[in-house]
Amino acid sequence: MKKLLIINGPNLNLLGLREPELYGRETYEDLVRRVENACKEHGLECKCFQSNHEGALVDEIQEARGRFDGIVINPAAYTHTSIAILDALRAVGIPAVEVHLTDISAREEYRRISFAGKACVRTIAGHGPAGYEEAITFLEDYLKHPASK
């Protein structure tokens, strides 16, 4: 059975509370349930991890090598600043899909740059929590047919 690592960065633990007009009212716990259910429907195992600390996210990515087949990552604010997360994603060589709840290309200028996305096989942005389900579906197919992507 294929295994996915789902990584969420800073402040995603505050979903439902933080700017609900942008990020919605679904809580982080709701999001984890949604992801777990989607993985189960696709016959995938998953581990969900959230941290507000860049180093913890890098450690989790590095520890995924040899243990996970794919990564779904929402680096949150670190998207726009973290070369360390970019380097970790490149180093482990695991196909990753970047997810953002909002459309970062339509937000503030500083949010339009994604370092992490440079190491990902796809970016899904602006689809809210459903973007995670899209990422899981895409990765399942990608892992079955990597050469066709």
User: What pLDDT does 16 receive?
Assistant: 83
145 catalytic, yes or no? no
100 catalytic, yes or no? yes
User: At residue 47, what are phi and psi to the nearest 5 degrees?
Assistant: -125, 130
**For the chain, which residues score pLDDT lower than 50?**
none
User: What pLDDT does 99 receive?
Assistant: 97
In the β-sheet with 122-125, what is the strand arrangement from edge to edge? 45-50, 3-8, 70-74, 96-100, 122-125
The catalytically annotated residue of 78, 100, 132, 142 is 100
User: What pLDDT does 25 receive?
Assistant: 80
User: At residue 4, what are phi and psi to the nearest 5 degrees?
Assistant: -110, 140
User: What pLDDT does 133 receive?
Assistant: 98
C-alpha closest to that of 25 among 108, 129, 104, 106: 129
Contacts of residue 21, defined as CB under 8 A and 6 or more positions apart, other chains included, come to none
The catalytically annotated residue of 23, 78, 132, 142 is 23
Enumerate the β-bridge partners of residue 99: 124
Domains contained in the chain, CATH given: 3-148 (3.40.50.9100)
C-alpha closest to that of 51 among 11, 24, 18, 89: 11
